[in-house]
Structure 1
Amino acid sequence: MPHFVTSAQGRAHVTSANAAHWNAGTLGGGCYVLPLGNKMACTMTDSNTLRVLFGVASVCGRQWEVEGDYEEVNIDNGVPGYNRTDLLVCRIETAPQETIALKVYKGEETTGTPVTPGHVEGDLNDGDTVCEMPICSVRVNGINPQAPVMLTEESHTIEGNAIDLADLAKRLGDYMSQMLTAKGISDRGIAGAKLADGAVTSVKLAGKAVTEAKLAEALAYKVNGGGVLASPDWYMTEGQTLKLARRVSEQRTGIVLVFSAYSGSAAGNYYFSAHFVPKQAVAKANGCGWEFDQDSGDRYGMAKYLYIFDGEIRGTAVNGKSGTAPSGRRFDNAIYVLRWVIGV
């Protein structure tokens, strides 16, 4: 039978699940931090203390927040000569009791590039009883913890979504108006427009041919993103952070990273390789590590490792080095560079 949630029935009949379902339908069913307070920004106050500042979040519609100014958790000491990456999550359980806790997953110690630990990606509205929201990761180099890398995804408010949609509608309207009226194109539309020297497909504006395909491509970019987001020609070593012209989340399907050879003084147009990264994967694992391999029959291969965020890509120390992987595969990252990041 139907459950009349928003009603006075003279008894306790509204459950936490009812509230969570409404929140999930309004804010989204994933893990989000709301644009309030410090949005759970994280800092290391000393070598063992990770501080999480005030913020409000939603996990499958279950609202939770850091009470007071901050909450602190412990990070274990590192080991000299070894590296690891720890992961901080908020763990929510709905059975047998509803519980919440901040939990640190300690990464595996390694002399190479550490891997971020996994976590539980449950759906509390689809039968799962556990879901963990990633908050940040902390890389520990030897005994020195680095600055936390935030992994939270911000949720737009209803008001913010309305403003975004109104702005998008206005920009699209302005853009279509410019396309349909610029340089003498009549208000009958592109298909029937005739310019001084003939059809749209043959007209030249500013010395460049205007075709339906080019107009469609421009409109697709306006709506879905796309195009070259960055052209670094970098090794992408530690300390190199590549800012993207548009976010990964603004692309239609994701991004393609294109690598090529490097001769020692300039990037070369040979030994190209292209690697696709889905936008959904970046949304679920924002700031996590990705490996990009390339093999060749007449030179050492490539084994790049990058941290991909929604708005930027960060390099790692291994990307300028050479060596032999545990599998026996030899690589030389100093003869390859990242040429382009392309939105698709």
Structure 2
Amino acid sequence: MTTTLITGKGGTPHITSGDMGAMQSGIIGNGSYLLQGSDGTFPTVTMQDANHALIPVLNLVVEGRYARVTEAETATIESGVSGQNRNDLVCLKYTRNNQNIETAAIAVLKGTPNTGTAADPTIPSGSIHSASGTAWIPIARIPISGITPGTPVMLIKQLPPMSKLLDSVTLDRKIWSGPYGMKVRLAKVGMMAFAFGSTSFTSNINSNGQTVHETMDAGFLPADEAAILLEGVNGQHGSLSFYSDGKVTISGSMNSGYYFRVCGCWPVK
């Protein structure tokens, strides 16, 4: 019988790591990922001293298997050689023995020193998906120049929580009250904001970058600067420029009583 109700009561133990690994790979992905910590940030490997990399508490999903570093631990980095460069890789080493007992541990792959640009060591072949006896999952690179190790570079992909995914697809809309009586429709999806529709003014405008009293809504502030373009049906046109601090300037020659098409798109902070 090849069809099994994995999470149903079977009367005997029947849920394997392969079952859960297949499910988690299907939901999360077939690769290897770093999950955020309880403080909402993604932890990083640091150097404790010249010969020890400090691996913090980590939550990892590697080829469907969930692995944890429950307490900070160190990995030994061999001393470098003056005048030579080397890259070492801090990895999670997965092992499956002849009895299909699976374990995981932090291990270091040492690179080959040379006088030129350092290259990462070759990752030994092997995959959990393929039931290999060992699989190496790189977590961080330790660049070593001469006898001095540099700042570790995280290599494993970060996997944001589902709450972030929800934020990225949630539509936020509002009408912003801009200068000279104008009303602008704004929308935000994830980290992108949009201005659309049409608007009009309550007085004539003739400006070359005048700063106005109104500020851009806090929820739609750009990462740096952005602009909303205004195109009138009678050939008049102008623009609103605004910045990460909320300051807004207006440019153009536009008369009241006319409608202007609104167009804008920018990344938010």
TM range (shorter): 0.5 to 0.7
Structure 1 counterpart SS, 2:198: helix
Conserved? CA contact 2:36–2:43, under 8 Å = no
Matched, 1:56 2:89: no
Conserved? CA contact 2:170–2:189, under 8 Å = no
Whole-angstrom distance in 1 between the partners of 2:156 and 2:66: 15
Q: Which residue of 1 aligns with 2:198?
A: 181
Shift of 1:57: 0.6
Structure 2 spans left out of the alignment, 5+ residues: 174-186, 202-230, 240-251, 254-260
Whole-angstrom distance in 2 between the partners of 1:36 and 1:137: 20
Q: Which residue of 2 aligns with 1:228?
A: none
- Alignment-mate amino acid for residue 137 of structure 1: R
Over 3 Å counting, the alpha-carbon distance change for 1:182 and 1:106 in structure 2 is farther
Whole-angstrom distance in 2 between the partners of 1:7 and 1:116: 45
Matches within 5 A, 1:103-122: 103-120=107-124
Of 158, 161, 170, the residue aligned with 1:157 is 161
Q: Which runs of 4+ in 1 moved over 4 A?
A: 37-40, 120-123, 167-170, 172-176
Whole-angstrom distance in 1 between the partners of 2:127 and 2:77: 28
TM-score (norm 2): 0.62
Shift of 1:163: 2.3
Q: Which residue of 2 aligns with 1:137?
A: 141
Over 3 Å counting, the alpha-carbon distance change for 1:25 and 1:34 in structure 2 is same
- Alignment-mate amino acid for residue 142 of structure 2: V
Shift of 1:131: 3.6
- Alignment-mate amino acid for residue 100 of structure 1: A
Shift of 1:14: 0.6
- Alignment-mate amino acid for residue 60 of structure 2: A
Q: Which residue of 2 aligns with 1:196?
A: 233
Per-residue deviation, residues 263-318 of structure 1 (Å, max 9, x unmatched): xxxxxxxxxxxxxxxxxxxxxxxxxxxxxxxxxxxxxxxxxxxxxxxxxxxxxxxx
Query: May I ask how many residue pairs the two structures share in their alignment?
Result: 201
Per-residue deviation, residues 101-139 of structure 1 (Å, max 9, x unmatched): 2221111111122112232576533x3524432211112
Aligned sequence identity (%): 25
Whole-angstrom distance in 1 between the partners of 2:193 and 2:147: 54
Whole-angstrom distance in 1 between the partners of 2:55 and 2:131: 27
TM-score (norm 1): 0.50
Of 188, 194, 204, the residue aligned with 1:171 is 188
Q: Which residue of 1 aligns with 2:13?
A: 12
Over 3 Å counting, the alpha-carbon distance change for 1:65 and 1:39 in structure 2 is farther
Q: Which has the larger radius of gyration?
A: 2
Per-residue deviation, residues 180-239 of structure 1 (Å, max 9, x unmatched): 23459xxxxxxxxx9532xxxx6634459xxx9xx6xx66x76xxxxxxxxxxxxxxxxx
Per-residue deviation, residues 112-171 of structure 1 (Å, max 9, x unmatched): 22112232576533x352443221111222222222222232211222221222158951
Conserved? CA contact 1:39–1:53, under 8 Å = no
| CA root-mean-square deviation | 3.5
- Alignment-mate amino acid for residue 165 of structure 1: V
Whole-angstrom distance in 2 between the partners of 1:119 and 1:56: 22
Whole-angstrom distance in 2 between the partners of 1:167 and 1:71: 42
Kindly indicate which of the two structures has a greater share of residues assigned to strand. Answer: 2
Matches within 5 A, 1:48-87: 48-68=51-71, 70-87=72-89
Matched, 1:43 2:76: no
Over 3 Å counting, the alpha-carbon distance change for 1:78 and 1:12 in structure 2 is same
